Structure 1
Amino acid sequence: MTSGNISDTEQAVLDEIEEKDVDFLRLQFTDILGTVKNVSVPARQAEKAFAEGIYFDGSSIEGFVRIQESDMRLVPDPETFAVLPWRQKEDSAAGRMICDVYDTYTGEPFEGDPRRVLKNAIDRAEEMGYDVNAAPEPEFFLFEEDEDGYATTETGDHGGYFDVAPKDLASDVRRDIIYGLEEMGFEIEASHHEVARGQHEINFEYDDALSTADNVATFRTVVRAIAAQHDLHATFMPKPIPKINGSGMHTHLSLFTEDGENAFHDEDDEFNLSDTAHSFLAGILEHAPAITAVADPTVNSYKRLVPGYEAPVYVAWSDRNRSALIRKPAARVPAASRIEARFPDPSCNPYLALAALIHAGLDGIEKDLECPDPVRENIYEFDEEKREEYGIETLPSNLGEAVDALEEDEVILEALGEHVGPKFIEAKSQEFEDYLVDVSQWELDRYLETF
């Protein structure tokens, strides 16, 4: 039985809170930069949160609002309720719900909320007759902590791609992370040691775009929390160690029609991709430089996006090799036909990155963009003359160039919206300016005693 205006789904959450002795709730959201934030409330406030929302000061959150318009409201999504596996005790537990942010004064969804930005992209797709599915592959590093509990860049293992113990000493940590994720409702497909020492990947099942972005935010939180229980520091920094592979977040995308058919599949096409898929792919290639500012949003991201370390920097697609920006993976069944964007990294705000990819692809469909031929050779081995012959451009080489590309791309700016777009550009421009005036240890080592 429900109480008041509480829905059946909300009542089910209230029942689970009582059944599992949840005493505190974390009401979670993200700022524009993708940092997970939360307001913690006693679990007895759950019904009030559903009915009225929970108020908080939005002026304290990166990129939200000015001090004179600071009152915001969190409205929890009951579908996202989960008990935090690392906070369970004998007599109590803590729960989590992901929230939408509302403007207190207008009562409308806050357009500066990254989750709202992604919902707007999903709404656009639905208006065109599509549901968007996505599956990310976030990679991360596990580092040892020093005696004071601070992160080092010592990995504690010397494993490589798909290695097993004794080289892969972190397999037990991955196992505990997987157990924790499964307790929070994840369907884990696979996990393995990645190419670089200390680098790992855990793949979870595809889902609708909103659930996928929620899952990425949750994934990063769970990985860090459980790694910390093993006295390890987990980082999603794209390139924490120089001269070895960095961490990416390859993102698989597909569109489904209202009757449940995969809009990307065509049995008669050489690549089993429909015209819709070709145009969607062409849209992402068209807007790739601007998307990069959102999907690879840090100064450090561009230390990963260099040739020679398995990171894609060339604006092309392929059905055979991984040197291109977008790959068409093999599909065993029609429902699995998809494309894989290989350039996002795990430091991105998943809501904004998916929104940018979706809008770019939909723009390709609306404009019926023609997809270029796939490049089946290893583009890493091309010289500049051969790349020009194939018409292959490169991604921006640094965050400043990427922000410049974003400022010039009306489609991706529109995807971010009138609030997030300018705030994001302001924050990232400042980040790049700070980087330009800093002096690195590399410079000191190379020049201090030479000149």
Structure 2
Amino acid sequence: MPLRSIVNARIAMSAGISPADMDYIQLLFTDVAGRLKSLEVPSSRWRATRDRGWSVDGSVMLGEGDRSHGNLRLVPDPDAFLVRPWHTPSGRSVGLVFCHVLDADGEPFAADARTRLRQAVVRSQARGQLPVFGAEADFYLLRDTQPAMAPTDNGCCWDLVDQEQADEVCRDTSDALELMGCTVSGHRHEAGPGQRVIVFRHGDALATADRLLLLKHTARTMARRRGMRAVFMPKPLAHRHGNALRVHVSLSGTDTEARPLFHDPDAPGNMSTLFQQSLAGVLEHADALTALGNPTVNSYKRLAPAPGAPVYRAWGRCNGSTAFKVAGDEAVPESMRLELRSPDSATNPHLLFTAILAAFWDGQDRGLKLPGAYEELDASPSEPGGTTCPVGRLPADLPAALRALEEDATVLAAVGELAARSWTARGRADWHAWHQLVTPWEVDRYLESV
């Protein structure tokens, strides 16, 4: 990022700049799939847009072909305004503001994922529980030149590499996120060649979901500026590590003490009864959560059986093959948390976080018992013809996950029937399209052998 842009952004933020002071403002919202959408207006139109909103067709939210919900309205949330910390190529300043989406009656649109999450947080607070979320998204930095899909370096987990242009992308991204109010804890090399992760500080559910989308957009922008691609696809490279989205969740009290509710010094492993019930709820609804957390055909290439792949419907503290992990230092109460290891960045984080909270409540309300931890480090899920795995597996493909979502009343109620219907329709369309293709692997394997 040019130094001038960073300096200008710092000056703008310190001066308390408003949307009207920008050259342009991008009105941000997400479709059901979790992709950032935007409408850009000149600053001269800001006040009118803020007061009256802007109409948008429901097919933009629900997917092409579904025009049953027209006349939606974007209403900017001034409290969610951000100064974009880089200028356009011609030097213009751009502001960002997330929007509420209202229906024709002026009510929150039923399939607006940010609204669903906001409502879930309110419901959680009414139970005396404040959700705290963190997210770590892996991504590959690939060269935007020939040969295509070539990683920027040959490093592996935590390596210090000498190809520093990739580090510069992470630094540019970290600077930009900091300027948008997102505290970056650090960045490092992940297990695959050219694979990185930028870790930002945990926070409330809505802010964390928003920041994850901004991270993806910002990393892609900064990578393009340096002749690279930031790729969040779950499994972009065959025979290489996939890109995970590790979601960290805990609950704290809503009183002034904000006591960490997942920690109990007198309980086994310091896991409070509330923590155990919440985790049991997540295990109960793990298959439906997989449909939301792993929504593409490609997602299940990453969740294929392999050492360290998080495919077990189980929890542990040290087992890399379990989908859920209890993390944190037992001596630091506020660090006790649940880590979901199976999701990937193709998810809509607002919908996924909403469903996680619903699974928590179901476990708490029903007093579900938590099964024991699974710590068989050398175990791997059985292949066809092999022995039966002692614990269940997550769905092995997208259709199985979508069926689980449709059969899970708790998760369906949380995300809403309209969003769930759009989600499953999109997933089945992708699955159908995939099966119309003839891949190079099939040609190589069968062209002359059958």
Change in 2 beyond 3 A, CA 1:51/1:171: same
Deviation at 1:167, TM superposition (A): 5.5
1:14 and 1:46 in contact (8 A); partners too: no
Structure 1 SS opposite 2:79: helix
Change in 2 beyond 3 A, CA 1:69/1:262: same
Cα distance in 2 for partners of 1:182, 1:77 equals 21
Deviation at 1:90, TM superposition (A): 8.8
Structure 2 SS opposite 1:285: helix
The residue number in structure 1 matching 2:6 is none
Deviation at 1:419, TM superposition (A): 1.1
Structure 1 SS opposite 2:327: coil
The residue number in structure 1 matching 2:78 is 78
Deviation at 1:181, TM superposition (A): 1.2
Identity within the alignment, % = 35
Cα distance in 2 for partners of 1:13, 1:442 equals 55
Deviation at 1:337, TM superposition (A): 1.3
Matches within 5 A, 1:288-367: 288-308=286-306, 310-331=308-329, 332-367=331-366
1:16 and 2:12 correspond = no
Q: How many pairs are equivalent? A: 434
2:153 and 2:161 in contact (8 A); partners too: no
Cα distance in 1 for partners of 2:344, 2:414 equals 19
Cα distance in 2 for partners of 1:212, 1:398 equals 28
Deviation at 1:182, TM superposition (A): 1.1
The residue number in structure 1 matching 2:275 is 277
1:171 and 2:167 correspond = yes
Unaligned runs of 5+ in 1: 1-11
Change in 2 beyond 3 A, CA 1:301/1:117: same
The residue number in structure 2 matching 1:442 is 441
**Deviation per residue, 1:298-335 (Å, 9 max, x gap):** 00000000232532000111123322111111225211
The residue number in structure 2 matching 1:143 is 142
Of 433-442 and 369-378, more deviation after overlay is shown by 433-442
**Deviation per residue, 1:230-288 (Å, 9 max, x gap):** 11111110000011110000110011121111111101122111100001001111111
Please, what TM-score do these two structures have when normalized by structure 1?
Answer: 0.90
The residue number in structure 1 matching 2:96 is 96
The amino acid of 2:18's aligned partner reads: I
Cα distance in 2 for partners of 1:377, 1:366 equals 31
**Deviation per residue, 1:387-435 (Å, 9 max, x gap):** 8574x10011110111111111111111110211111111111211222
> What is the root-mean-square deviation in Å for CA atoms of aligned residues?
2.4
1:318 and 1:328 in contact (8 A); partners too: yes
The amino acid of 2:80's aligned partner reads: T
Cα distance in 2 for partners of 1:418, 1:376 equals 37
Of 231-240 and 43-52, more deviation after overlay is shown by 43-52
Please, what TM-score do these two structures have when normalized by structure 2?
Answer: 0.91
Cα distance in 2 for partners of 1:65, 1:306 equals 32
Change in 2 beyond 3 A, CA 1:68/1:242: closer
Structure 2 SS opposite 1:80: strand
Change in 2 beyond 3 A, CA 1:191/1:257: same
The amino acid of 1:345's aligned partner reads: D
Change in 2 beyond 3 A, CA 1:290/1:68: closer
The residue number in structure 2 matching 1:184 is 180
Of 113-122 and 41-50, more deviation after overlay is shown by 41-50
The amino acid of 2:214's aligned partner reads: T
The amino acid of 2:142's aligned partner reads: F
Structure 1 SS opposite 2:285: helix
